[in-house]
Amino acid sequence: MTEAATLEALAADAYVYGYPMVFDLTMVDRFHRDGMGSLPATGFNRFSHADKLGGAGTEFVSVNNDTVYSVAQLDLSGGPLILDVPDADGAYYVLQFVDAWSNNFAYLGRRATGTRAQRRLLVPPHWRGTPEPGLEVIECPTAVATVIGRNACDGPADLLRVRALQQQLTLTPLESGGESGGECAGLPEPDPEVPEQLRFLEQLRLWAAQFPPARPDVEYQQRFAPLGLLDTGASPYRNPAPDWAAALARGLAEGRRRVEQAGRPDPDQPGGDWALNLHLFDFNLDHLGPGTVDDPQWRIPDRRAAYLTRAVAARTGLWGNHAYEAVYAATYRDAEGRPLTGACSYTLRFDAPPPVDAFWSLTMYDATDYFLVPNPVDRYSIGDRTPGLVYGPDGSLTLVLRHERPEDPAEAANWLPTPAGEFRPMIRLYQPGAAVLDGTYRLPQIRPY
């Protein structure tokens, strides 16, 4: 293998390995600058609260329309934080903790810890302090992390209840012992002189050094030394040799192709079947904190395979939950194996409700960016909490998926608008039952009519 080919192969591997961190922290930075949909921009260590459900203006991959978001970007370089969570009185919510490498490392909420009020101490990696008695600790694997809060909301009439909970969800510095309140380091800024084609590597170089992963991953990173990813100080990408830069750019393009290819539907999957991806978020092998299920069933055994799975999860559903919290099932084709498109009309018939311990929904996305699509009635999801659904005499539920509003009143009540072009619907099952997790439950196919 020539030197250029070796560099290309390494750069492709580095893209797959580093994409989740680069994308994650790019979104963290964007959140600070611009916010996200109805979530206003905020600094580190403060919650930003949405005041409505996600809609067409929420440009985030596969965002849900079932819950109202509360998101905090943590920077624990200044010291630990106290997290106070209010009593949700039995209502569904989850606080999901995600490190800089996009690993889900802790959960609080209805499934994991119940809905009573609770207080936790969030500490940076390798913290050696002593918490006060009774104050449970969540250790964050990286100094920068994200908390994604989701409160179930049964439409606009339920927003007042959710907003009251949001106002009681707080982060405050730990004051005792001088252990917090210091200046936060934030995200290192990439060198602006680095050419765009190598910016990914510059971001990965800086951020991987600032937020090191688990020891086995640090060892894996050593193989990327020829790419300049282990260099400290001035950027090696600022004035690169043309041949070297060209080889790196070709490798990055190949890595991007691998991630896109791996994220496409399985060509061997029967047409119309739903891809449940029960193990899409099982790539965290090292830091399993409160609320996670520390069991081999929920870990990808091959670390190298986990890197690609992690990249696909970031590309198609950044900040998504483990399946034991919520299952995401997507499809691109109807029961006859043809791509789903707004040029056709479809039905989705449930003989019985999906087995869940919380609730379920069907959400509509475009097939390219996985964004919610504008529609004239502002309905982006439909499910067991949707008011006015019309059920059959036998208890079945038939949903109607089409671009234009149906004329029949019963069909209009059960209508989920589709884009004019190709689309990708996603079913979410919150607190899925055992039949979902062991694969014995099968979702019905979408049928043209």
Answer yes or no: is 115 within a domain: yes
**The pLDDT of residue 115:** 98
Distance CA 261, CA 55 (A): 28
DSSP string of 433-447, one letter each residue: -HHHHTT---PPPPE
Answer yes or no: is 283 within a domain: no
Answer yes or no: is 301 within a domain: no
Residues spanned by the domain of 438: 331-448
Answer yes or no: is 372 within a domain: yes
Note whether 230 and 376 are same-domain residues: no
Domain count, the chain: 2
Tokens in use for 86?
Answer: 């209010």
Question: Angle formed by the axes of helices 303-317 and 3-34, to 10°?
Answer: 40
Residue where a domain stops, chosen among 231, 246, 264: 264
Distance CA 228, CA 200 (A): 12
Q: Can you list the residues of the chain whose pLDDT is less than 70?
A: 176-182
Residue where a domain stops, chosen among 211, 237, 264: 264
Q: Are 189 and 181 in contact (CB under 8 A)?
A: no
**The pLDDT of residue 268:** 74
**Domain harbouring 424, CATH code:** 2.60.120.1600
pLDDT tens-digit profile of 229-284?
999 999 999 999 999 999 999 999 999 999 999 998 777 777 789 988 899 999 99
Q: Are 85 and 117 in contact (CB under 8 A)?
A: yes
Residue where a domain stops, chosen among 264, 295, 311: 264
**The pLDDT of residue 178:** 41
Note whether 260 and 373 are same-domain residues: no
Note whether 125 and 225 are same-domain residues: yes
Note whether 246 and 377 are same-domain residues: no
Note whether 93 and 235 are same-domain residues: yes
Q: Are 244 and 276 in contact (CB under 8 A)?
A: no
Answer yes or no: is 298 within a domain: no
Note whether 68 and 180 are same-domain residues: yes
3-state secondary structure of 84: strand
Answer yes or no: is 134 within a domain: yes
Answer yes or no: is 276 within a domain: no
Distance CA 399, CA 382 (A): 8
Note whether 336 and 257 are same-domain residues: no
Note whether 123 and 246 are same-domain residues: yes
- Quote the pTM value: 0.91
**Domain harbouring 253, CATH code:** 2.60.40.1610
Note whether 196 and 337 are same-domain residues: no
Note whether 100 and 219 are same-domain residues: yes
Q: Supply φ then ψ for residue 111, to 5 degrees.
A: -70, -45
**The pLDDT of residue 370:** 83
**The pLDDT of residue 182:** 66
**The pLDDT of residue 181:** 54
Answer yes or no: is 291 within a domain: no
Note whether 245 and 353 are same-domain residues: no
**The pLDDT of residue 305:** 96
Note whether 162 and 35 are same-domain residues: yes
Distance CA 262, CA 379 (A): 31
